Structure formats: structure tokens, C-alpha cells
Amino acid sequence: MPGAQSLAQQLAAKQREISVAEFFERNRQILGFDNPLRAVLTTVKEAVDNALDACEEARVLPEILVEISKEGPDRLKVAVGDNGPGIVKKQIPNVFARLLYGSRFHANRQSRGQQGIGISAAVLYAALTTARPTRITSKVPEEEAAHVVELLIDTQKNAPRVLSDELELWDRPQGTRVELVLKARYTRGRQSPFDYLKNTAIVNPHARIVLLEPDGTRITWERATTEVPPVPKEVPPHPYGLELGELGSRLKASSRATLGETLSKEFAGVTPRALRDIFARGHFSGKEAPDSLHSEDLERLLAVLHEVPLLPPSAESLSPIGPLLIKRGLRNVLGEIRPEFFAPPVSRPPKVRGGNPFVVEIGLVYGGGLPADQPMQLLRFANRVPLLFQQGACAITTAVGNLDWRRYGLDQKGGSGLPIGPCLLLVHLASTKVPFTSEAKEAVAEDPEIDKELTLSLQVVARHLRTHLSRRSRRDMAGEKFLIIQRILPQLAEKASRLAGKPVPDLTAVITKIMDVVAFEATAVAAANAGESALALEVTNYTPRPRVLELFLEMPLEAAASLHAEPAPDGTDAELGRAWWTLEKLPPSGRVKLLLRFPKAQEVEPGDLDWFVAGVDEAHLLGAEPLPGDWEVRLPRAIVEAAEGSGAEAAMSEGEPEVDYDGAEAHASLDEE
Amino acid sequence: MPGAQSLAQQLAAKQREISVAEFFERNRQILGFDNPLRAVLTTVKEAVDNALDACEEARVLPEILVEISKEGPDRLKVAVGDNGPGIVKKQIPNVFARLLYGSRFHANRQSRGQQGIGISAAVLYAALTTARPTRITSKVPEEEAAHVVELLIDTQKNAPRVLSDELELWDRPQGTRVELVLKARYTRGRQSPFDYLKNTAIVNPHARIVLLEPDGTRITWERATTEVPPVPKEVPPHPYGLELGELGSRLKASSRATLGETLSKEFAGVTPRALRDIFARGHFSGKEAPDSLHSEDLERLLAVLHEVPLLPPSAESLSPIGPLLIKRGLRNVLGEIRPEFFAPPVSRPPKVRGGNPFVVEIGLVYGGGLPADQPMQLLRFANRVPLLFQQGACAITTAVGNLDWRRYGLDQKGGSGLPIGPCLLLVHLASTKVPFTSEAKEAVAEDPEIDKELTLSLQVVARHLRTHLSRRSRRDMAGEKFLIIQRILPQLAEKASRLAGKPVPDLTAVITKIMDVVAFEATAVAAANAGESALALEVTNYTPRPRVLELFLEMPLEAAASLHAEPAPDGTDAELGRAWWTLEKLPPSGRVKLLLRFPKAQEVEPGDLDWFVAGVDEAHLLGAEPLPGDWEVRLPRAIVEAAEGSGAEAAMSEGEPEVDYDGAEAHASLDEE
């Protein structure tokens, strides 16, 4: 077989290394440079992500300026400037013109850029499509002038090619500006730089972002807070979800003397107690040299590490948005739309996958002008970066679609896919390592741990929605009754009296008897202090009996911590965001008022507060709910006993005949017993 | 600002290069190693793709053996062996344990592997999850023994680490076998190795594939052809769709003396005439040194290259499946299901994007036991590799969903998304460079050129479907009439005669008068020669007049080229797959028979043939269609004239009164005029 004989040799001669820059030049669609429309978005995205990361590391309030201008047919100049710490001259070429180079890949903490690819890919794309170099201006505060570098990438070597390097005076203390000319097209709309920056502002309320569009339009997203989010800390990997090979190479690379020291210092969550457990169950002495473990030892160690209870992963490496800013961000994106319901944002404790902690955060908004006949709007974010493409390929979308939203009061064709309804859902996944489906970082890959956490969080927020919707329908019914009795009955009486030629009778007592509810109405009121906002709760006893009410309030956690109430509550539980009062005995037609004050920044609204009452049957409540059974375990004993006592009363009052519109007499006679 | 002063320096100290192996170890989901179920599929896929590529290069009929066995809880051993040309010893470590290394990345021709990542990624994943090395056995035919190499990847260096290297006798002349132990789970079903191999067999009918499952089940996909597909040739890039930067670097890298020589030798499609055009329009002499062009020259050259008509891209670098094998493949996957309709597979001429030719091929099957109430089954393929994941993120799915299938007779909710109906659609994209959305190669990225070509091809196949569905409904109606007249009328007559005590009259003439159709019925018949299959067409004149029929046949292109017919056709057009006959004058109730013979390998069935008739009005045809107007231009003049003549007759016969069930008498009297 002489033909085949030479073939293996022939093939061998063709084998060669592929530079990562060559690879991505040929496969630029993987990096998000498929077409001119997407190219400008990806370029802006990579530059702004870097700018925000740099500002955060420097603990500077970000000032981002994005300028996009026309440079010819099918060509745009894109410039992104920031006030970050700057880049030292020596590093500029590598940072901008070498793929797989960076500071954040090896750091085990949340950041926007993790791959060391993004901005270099934009430089590569610019040169590929316009043959124009990228111009970088950067100034570090300790130097007088800025460095201005023009560069390209040598694709075959994946290395920078610097064309010029000059000093220039710059009118700012520090910062970086990158300017590229690329084949691109600009439109405003879905999946545009405008859309990306708008969504970036939602989850980065500490940043001020300015966009200059090619037609000269200038859009500014002002910052909504002046607090810089804390810099996520680098943490060692957590053993949960660690693979055998990873464990092995970490032990091999350790410079510690013993296995015990390595486990407790170079892994998270391993307490002294856990360490003793690990050694006992795995038959280790703990004195072994960390690089001495053989295959079977390693397997045993890994099995034990996955069995033994460890401390949960620390959240220090993460930078979640937090419920308050999620809400503020959503309000921001809604603009003029005032939703009827803001579900309390969900932000659960961190979990681990493959050694990396992650957090899921969810916000949901319902009604108030959102389109009712269209699929829920889904805003996806990962590490504070909006994900605008590949919605269908994203694990977040899958998790949302897999929930049976019909059980929570929304329409959903066949019980899967995005539900239909006036809903906006924000989902943020923050992790030291987000598993993206590709380097374009636009969709999260399927992962059982993340999926589980997404599902649990979605269930929590969906339950809130269901509660709201069922309360609303009950409120609607009760409200209708209220309306009929309070407004129409007097009119009827007046007409009837006029016809009969008799004086109009005083109906107040009758109305009270017929209504038979205790009404709770929360409203925003003028605050006494400038820095505060105030809410009032009016409680009116429209029942024919005096009432002693146990009143319970559930509110956002931050709000609970800073609540000032008159009268002062009998107790609070800051951990659960709760407060409670025993109200004075309220006579029939009696009214009592609670005044609540919060720092203005909290933006607490009547809709954020949930009111619960013990001691009154559900049928006699308007604007509040009966105390749920699962509260008891978390309340101080005294309150539990009081609630149980009034629970007995409630059970009795359930024995009362149902009131309907013509039941007033029967009721009155019962009352007279 | 002393804090910030040091920050840029601090950040600089952390900047470092990231090895591509490190990158993919951390981002293994990008390569398709998300979870244990998918890991086994991806491993099998990468190994089998390599095996098929190697066999194709060696022009060997592939024999692939995939063995999967259990190695412990959550662990599988996967071994894939082939009879390819083998790998020379020196190259084994690089091929299997260095990412971005290979022979096919730089070759401008269709192949399954293009990235030089796949199998090394499997080796990386195996080591990461089980710390076990990969074992490669490879024998080239010129050596006596096989080399057996055990290796790992040094992740930080992205370089092979060889643990052992031995010689071993092997019972085969040549081939390669790779054996890995990895964290994985096996199930048969959707997105499993079984599913992947089944679909691979569809589009690689020249391969014999054997799968040994962990429970010992052995599945064999026998080859359906012994023809090895031609090896795609390397071709220079085509200037259409080339980017400025690519043009520049290709000219810079050229070793030719002049621009003219470079353009005509290192680019495809540039004829001498085109070259003259390019020089004239772009104001070039053609004698310029290719690396002497400056920015503006380059831009002008590129603009001119995109304007001037060039030869279309050659298909030599591609390996399309072809209509015949698409059909055979579909029949294979359908197994027992016999569809009611096979649309003629579409395989259009190649187009170019970004300098790379590509071809779209489509097959569609309808009815016959496919589920009618579910979305169309979509089988996606790229370069003869089945795409099993990320259907929703794939440009193929988008193009299918964007077609309004309601216009072609299928249900489709809201006119977009996969249509509902008993349909199976096979789409194959073949290109020297398929733009995948990620390195896992599971979805095609959006691209305007590909999308356009997909849409056009889908329209062609959808029009065939529409024609079939409307013919079927007409045939159904006519068939009903046929049934009533031919079967029920004689029964009625018999009963009536019996009741009346009279002899049963001969109804043949009456039936003929009532039916008033010329019926065409094609059936498979026993062939005289073993290597042939035969079809017969029976034409019966059930009209009360003698008929001269111009009969036209349209058939698959390959079939037309090898057709033997008795009587011989008056003419054929192999280019369009057509043949035609003028039939002898057929008296009322007269019948004539055509016998068609094809090579058995063509697998021509009655449903593959479309019959058209000139000279008879549509209302009088059963089993054939009137000749479409657009045929005339392609027919020899004599036939056109004949058709026009009989067209006049047809116009006359249209003046005949419509026949309905009780119109026989009226008709008969007309005939007697």
C-alpha cells in the first residue's frame, strides 16, 4: 500500500500549531463579531465592561463616555473613555493586542471580564475589516502625561505590533480611552449599544454613562447611587463540585508542608472540625506532603470532601446587586410605567458549582401598563453585564420557561416557554466563574446546580406574584362590595326617601353593620424631614363589634432596619424584615393611624408593605391578610400566644352567618343577642 | 492619590498570559463538556469525526468501532477505533494533547474537524475528571508494529505530557484507536452517542459503524454505498466577501512577483478577462509588487474585486451529500415508516461568504406515519456531522422558522417557528468554513449569505410540498369519483337488474362516458435484470373520444441520465431531468403501457416521477398534470408546436359541458353530434 504509506507522513507534514488569534480571526462569530450591527455592540460592550471593572477595582465612581461616529460607508469610529486607574505603559500592548491575556482569568472573584479575550478581539476585528490600527490613550495618576499607543495584532504570533507610542497632555488625572475604526453599522433599538448601555445602567447604578450617537444625539444615564459596590475579594476554591483532576493539580501546586495545612488554607469552608472529620473518614494523618497523594488517595479524599459538612461558600468574592438596587434598576427601566406590583426581589445565599460560588438574584414587576398579551419581558444579566443575544440558548431562559407559570396565575401555552402577561422579570447570575456557552458571553450554559438555584428563586418570586394576584382578586371583590355599600346605598336611600316624601335616614350604623370589615389603607404622606419618606396606615373598624388587633408588617429587609414608626412597634425582626403591633381596642366605626418613616433612599412605597392580622377572620379583612401559619415559629413566644388566643376568637367569629346584601337585619339581630 | 498611584502598578503585576488549555479547562462547557451525559457524546463525536476525516483523506471505506463500558460509578471508558491511515509516532502527542493544533485549520476545504481542538479537549476533560491518561494506539501501514502512547496535557503549557510509549503488535494493517476514561453517564435516546451515530450514518452512507453499549448491546450501521466520497480539494479563497484586512495580509504574504500574478494564482474565480477589468477600473498596472499596496490602494482593489464579475466558486473544495444519498439517508432514518411523499432533494450550486464557498442541501419527507400533530422533525448537519444540541440557537432553525409554512400547506402558529405536521426535514450545510456559534460546533451562527441560501432552498422544497399537497387533494377528489363510478355503479346496476328480473347490462361504455378522464397509473414492476428496477406507466383513455397525448416526464437528475424506456422517448433533457413521448392515438377505453428501467442503485420509485400532459384539459386528467406554461421554452421546437396545437384542442374541449354524476346523457348526446 504505497499510497497509504506516504499518507500518514503527508498528513504529519501538514500538522501545525494554530495561533489563538488566527483561530478567532477565522471564527470571529464566536466572539460576537458576526456582522456589522453586532460588531459595534460587541466592541462597546467589551470596552465598557473593562472600564467598569477597572473603576471598581480602583473604587472610583465610573464616568464612562461612549462616542460613536461615522467614518465612511459601513464604517464607524468607536471610542470609549473612562476615569479608571489607567494602564501602565508596558502593559498597554498586551492588554489590547494579545488574546488570552489578562489579570482577571486567574483571580477567583466576580468580574465582568474573565477571559482576557474581549477587547483584543475588537482590535483584531477592526484591523481585519478596515486595516486601521487601534489608538489607546492611558494616564496613570503618578505620571504627568498620558501615553498614546497605536497598535495592531500580529495574528500568526498572537502578539502586539506597536506602530507608534507618544506622550500627550491630557486634561484629566487618570483614565483610559480606546478608539477603533471598524466595519459596523449603527441603529438604536434592540441589541444596540443604546440598549446595552441602558441595561448596564440598571445593574450598575453607581456609574454615570454618556453615549454620543453618530447623529450627534447625546444620552446620559445619571448615577442613581454614589456608593461604589465593594470590590469582590479573591477567595480560594470551595471543595464542593471540585473535579478530581483539579484537586490533584491544586495539591501538586501547593507550597504548604502538609495536606492538613493545604486543605485548610488553600480551600474555602474547611474548618478545623471538618478537617478532623476528613482525616478520620478518609484515613489520612494530615501530615502527608500535599503532592504525595496517589490516584486512589486522591479519589478517597475527594469523596470525603464531598461528604463532610463544610462552611458554605463566602459571598465575599461576589458582588450581588441587592434587592434595593434591583428594585431601583427596574423602576429606572420602566420609566413612566408605574407597575401595580413589585415582587420583593429575591437574593438567596451563595451556592457552589465546580468550586465557584454563585448567586442568583431575581426581580419581578407586574401590571401597570406592561403589555398583557405578550410574552413576559426577560432581562438577563451575568456579573452585572446585560445579556442581549442568544436568549433562546440561555439556561436562564430555560429555567424561566420550565416553570409552570399557570400555577402562579399567568398564561403559558402548554405550561412551558415564556409565560404571557404584563410582566418584567430581571434575572442576575453572579459568580466567580459564569459558565457561558461561548466566548461572546451572551448565554449561560446548562448546569444542574445553577438550574436548581434559578428554579428555587423563580418559585419564590412566582409565589409572591400568585399571592398578589389572588389578593388582588379578593380585594377587587371586597372593594366592589365596599363601593356598593358606601356609595350606592346612600343614593338609593335618598331617592327612596324623596319618592316617599320622608327625611333621609342616617345610614352610618347600618352601613357599618352591613360592611362588617376592618379596613386597612396604606398611603404615602408628606414627610416631616427632607431625608425621609413617610407612609400612613389607616385602620378603620367597620364591624359592629369592638376589635383588638394584632397587626404584623412584612417589608423589604433594608426598610426594616431603618424603620421609624409611631406608635413604636411592640417588636421587630430585622432578619426577616418584620414588625408587629397590638393596637388599642377599636370600637365600631373607630379609626387608628400608624405613621411609618423610612430614609428617602430606601424608596419604600405602600405596595412594598404586606400587612397581616391575627384575630380577625379573613372574611372581615379588607387591605390586610390573616397571619399565615408559618409565622408563628419565628415570632417571640408572647406574640405567638396572643395570636393563638385571637386565633380561637377568629374560629368563633367564623361561626357567624355570612353577610350578604340582604342579610343586614339577620346580622343586626344576631348582634343584639 | 497614592492609593490609585500604586493600583495601576498592582494591576499590571497581575496581568499574565492564559494558556489556551487553561482557558478551556475552566470553560469546558464551551467545548461541550457541560455534564456527564453530554461529555460522553462530545468525546465520541470528536473521535468519530477525526476517524471519518482520516479515512476520507486516505480514500478508505471507514470501519468505525465505538466501545463504551462502565469503569465505576459515574465513570465510563470510551474507545474509538478506525481503519484510517494512522498517525506517525512523532505527531501522536501533539494531535491528542495540544489544543489548537491540527492539519485542517489552514486547509481551505470541507472537513469535519476544522479547529484542532476537539479530541485534545476530550483528553483534557478525561484527566480533569478522573486523573487518568488517554491511551492511543496507532499503526501506519509501512511499520510492523503499532505505537501505544499514554499521555496527559500539561494545562499551563498547553503541551503534551507523555507517560509511556511502547510498541505493540496489532492485528490490522493500519488505523488509530483512542481510549479515554472520563466522568460520564450513558443513556440511549435523544442527544446520546447512539443518536449521534445513527445520524452520522445517514449522511455518511459509505461508513460502517459499530457501537458497543455498556450493557453489551451491539448495534451496527452497515454501509449503504461502497463509493468513497471524493476528497475535497484545497482551493484558494474567493474574493467575494473577503475583508480588507484579509486581502492585505494575503497580498503581503504572497511570494509572487506581481499583483496580477497574485490575484490570478492565489485567489479563486479571477479569470484573465476579470483581471483586465480589475486593473482598468481600479487604475492598477498589474505589475505592482503585491506587498507594495497602501491602505487606499487596498480599499480600491477590494471595492473593484467585489464589483467585477468573477467565476463562481468551485465546488471542488466541498463534499455535498447529493440528492440520491440524501434520499437514501432519509429512508434509512425512517426505517419502517414509508412516507407518502419524498420531495426532490435540493442541492443548489455553491455560494461564497467571507471567501469561503458553501452549499446548502435539503431533503423533506411528508406523511406516512410521521406524527401529524407535532412540530416538524428537523435534522441539522454541518460538513456531514449531525448537530444535536442548541437547536434553538442555530441559524438553520431560524431560517426554517422564518418561512411562512402556512403558504405551503402546513400549520404554523402565528406564521413562525417550526411548523406542525407529519414532516421530517434534513438540512445540510457544507463549507470550507462553517461559522459555528462556539467551539462545541453545535449551532450555526447567523449570517446573511447563509440565511439567504437557506431560505431559497427551503422555498424550493416547500413549493414541492405545496404542489404535492394540492395534487393530493385534487387526486383525492378525482379518486373518489373514480371509485364511485367504477365500483359502485356496476353493483347498483346488478341489484336493479335483479330486482327488475332483467339481465345486467354492459356498463363499460357508460362508465367511460361518465368518467371522462385519461388515467395515468405508475407502479413498480418486476425487473428483467438483477441490477435494475422497473416502473410501468399505464395510460387508459376513459373518455369517449380518441386521444393523441403528448406525455412529459420529470424525474431526479441521476435517474434521467440512466433511463431506459420502452417505447423510447421522443426526446430527453438530461440537464433538467426530463423526457417526453407522443403516444399513439388512444381510442376510448384504449390502454397503452410505458416501461421504464433504472439502475437499482438509483432507487427510483413511482412517487419520484412527475407526469405532465399537453392536449388534455386538467378536468380530464387523473394521475398526471397539465403541462406547466414554463416548460415550453425548454422544449425542442417540434414539441412546443405539437403542444400548442393540442393546446388549441384543449381550449376547445374546455368548451365541453362539465361532467357531473348525472350528466352522462347530455355528454353522450354531445359526442354524437
Among the listed residues B350, B364, B329, the one whose alpha carbon sits nearest the alpha carbon of residue B462: B364
Whether the pLDDT of residue B664 is over 50: the answer is: no
Residue A664 has a pLDDT of 35
Count the residues in chain A: 673
Assigned domain for A390 exists: yes
3-state SS of A96-152?
A: HHCCCEECCCCCCCCCCCCCCCHHHHHHHHHHHHHCCCEEEEEECCCCCCEEEEEEE
Cis ω before B599 (30° cut-off from 0): no
Q: Which three cell numbers stand for residue A419?
A: 409565560
Kindly indicate the confidence band of residue B2, based on its pLDDT and cuts at 50, 70 and 90: very low
Neighbours of A307 (CB within 10 A): 12
Question: Which of B312, B328, B352 is at the close of a domain?
Answer: B312
Average pLDDT, consecutive stretches of 10 residues, N- to C-terminus, chain A (673 residues): 60 81 87 90 95 92 97 94 94 91 78 82 94 95 94 92 95 94 93 94 92 96 86 87 88 92 92 94 93 89 92 86 83 79 86 88 91 92 93 93 93 86 95 91 91 94 88 72 71 81 76 78 84 89 85 82 88 82 86 90 78 82 76 48 45 37 34 34
Assigned domain for A665 exists: yes
Q: What is the CATH number of the domain that holds B410?
A: 3.30.230.10
Contact criterion met (CB below 8 Å) for B661 and B489? no
Chain A residue whose CA is closest to B248: A131
Kindly indicate the confidence band of residue B70, based on its pLDDT and cuts at 50, 70 and 90: very high
Q: How far is A653 from chain B (nearest CA, A)?
A: 53
Determine whether the interchain pair A8/B446 forms a contact, defined as Cβ–Cβ distance below 8 Å. Answer: no
Q: Could you report the per-residue pLDDT of B365-392, keeping only the tens digit for each?
A: 998 889 988 899 999 999 999 999 889 8
Question: Which of B419, B450, B467 is at the close of a domain?
Answer: B467
Whether residue B114 is found in the same domain as residue B181: yes
Q: How many domains does chain A have?
A: 4
A451 touches chain B (CB under 8 A): no
Cis ω before A546 (30° cut-off from 0): no
Q: What is the pTM of this model?
A: 0.78
Higher pLDDT, B24 or B364: B364
Q: Could you report the per-residue pLDDT of B400-411, keeping only the tens digit for each?
A: 999 999 999 999
Assigned domain for A322 exists: no
Question: Which of A294, A312, A330 is at the close of a domain?
Answer: A312
φ/ψ (deg, to 5) at B299: -60, -40
Determine whether the interchain pair B437/A390 forms a contact, defined as Cβ–Cβ distance below 8 Å. Answer: yes
By percentage, how much of chain B surpasses pLDDT 90?
42
Question: What are the chain A neighbours of B88 within 8 Å (beta carbons)?
Answer: 8-9, 12
Whether the pLDDT of residue B659 is over 70: the answer is: no
Total CB pairs under 8 A between chain A and B = 229
Helix (H) or strand (E) holding B492: helix B489-500
Kindly indicate the confidence band of residue B631, based on its pLDDT and cuts at 50, 70 and 90: low
Whether residue B182 is found in the same domain as residue B248: no
Whether residue B541 is found in the same domain as residue B602: yes
Q: What is the CATH number of the domain that holds A515?
A: 2.60.40.2960
Residue A419 has a pLDDT of 93
Provide the 3-class DSSP secondary structure of residue B583.
coil
Residue A508 has a pLDDT of 66
Whether residue A381 is found in the same domain as residue A418: yes
Which of residues 8 through 37 in chain A touch B, CB cutoff 8 A?
8-9, 11-12, 14-20, 22-23, 26-27, 29-30, 34-35
Q: Could you report the per-residue pLDDT of A422-478, keeping only the tens digit for each?
A: 999 999 999 999 999 988 899 999 888 999 999 999 999 999 899 888 877 776 766
Q: How far is B522 from chain A (nearest CA, A)?
A: 44
Whether residue B353 is found in the same domain as residue B292: no
- The full DSSP string for A305-347 is HHHS--PPPPSTT-----HHHHHHHHHHHHTT---SEEPPPEE
Assigned domain for A422 exists: yes
Count the residues in chain B: 673
Q: What is the CATH number of the domain that holds A32?
A: 3.30.565.10
Whether the pLDDT of residue B262 is over 50: the answer is: yes
Determine whether the interchain pair B105/A131 forms a contact, defined as Cβ–Cβ distance below 8 Å. Answer: no
Q: What is the CATH number of the domain that holds B286?
A: 1.10.8.50
Residue B386 has a pLDDT of 94
Q: Could you report the per-residue pLDDT of B275-287, keeping only the tens digit for each?
A: 999 999 999 999 9
Assigned domain for B419 exists: yes
Whether residue B256 is found in the same domain as residue B134: no
Residue B295 has a pLDDT of 84
Residue A334 has a pLDDT of 82
Kindly indicate the confidence band of residue B505, based on its pLDDT and cuts at 50, 70 and 90: confident
Determine whether the interchain pair A437/B438 forms a contact, defined as Cβ–Cβ distance below 8 Å. Answer: yes
Q: How far is A434 from chain B (nearest CA, A)?
A: 9
The domain of B417 spans 340-467
Determine whether the interchain pair B447/A88 forms a contact, defined as Cβ–Cβ distance below 8 Å. Answer: no
Whether residue B71 is found in the same domain as residue B201: yes
Beta strands A134-139 and A346-347: pairing type? unpaired
A250 touches chain B (CB under 8 A): no
Region of poorest pLDDT, from A589-593, B100-104, B136-140: B100-104
Tell me the average pLDDT of chain B. Answer: 85
Among the listed residues A49, A93, A85, A40, the one whose alpha carbon sits nearest the alpha carbon of residue A67: A40
Kindly indicate the confidence band of residue B302, based on its pLDDT and cuts at 50, 70 and 90: very high
Q: How far is B127 from chain A (nearest CA, A)?
A: 6
Which of residues 390 through 409 in chain A touch B, CB cutoff 8 A?
390, 392-393
Whether residue A164 is found in the same domain as residue A36: yes
Q: How far is B12 from chain A (nearest CA, A)?
A: 7
Residue A573 has a pLDDT of 81
Whether residue A203 is found in the same domain as residue A265: no
Assigned domain for B322 exists: no
Cα gap A369→A580, rounded to integer Å: 34
Region of poorest pLDDT, from A262-271, B474-483, B605-614: B474-483
Among the listed residues B594, B598, B499, the one whose alpha carbon sits nearest the alpha carbon of residue B549: B594
B102 touches chain A (CB under 8 A): yes
Determine whether the interchain pair B103/A11 forms a contact, defined as Cβ–Cβ distance below 8 Å. Answer: yes
Residue B495 has a pLDDT of 82
Contact criterion met (CB below 8 Å) for A598 and A536? no
Assigned domain for B484 exists: no
Q: How far is A436 from chain B (nearest CA, A)?
A: 7
- Tell me how far CA of residue A183 lies from CA of A125, A212, B649, in angstroms: 8, 18, 62
Whether residue A542 is found in the same domain as residue A667: yes
Assigned domain for B133 exists: yes
Chain A residue whose CA is closest to B176: A8
Kindly indicate the confidence band of residue B672, based on its pLDDT and cuts at 50, 70 and 90: very low
Whether residue A365 is found in the same domain as residue A302: no
Higher pLDDT, B315 or B351: B351
Cα gap A77→A40, rounded to integer Å: 9
Q: Cell 449599544: give the residue.
A: A193
Residue B456 has a pLDDT of 94
Residue B661 has a pLDDT of 34
Beta bridge pairs of residue A220: A210
Whether residue A522 is found in the same domain as residue A396: no
Determine whether the interchain pair B128/A447 forms a contact, defined as Cβ–Cβ distance below 8 Å. Answer: no
Contact criterion met (CB below 8 Å) for B96 and B138? no
Which of residues 326 through 365 in chain A touch B, CB cutoff 8 A?
none
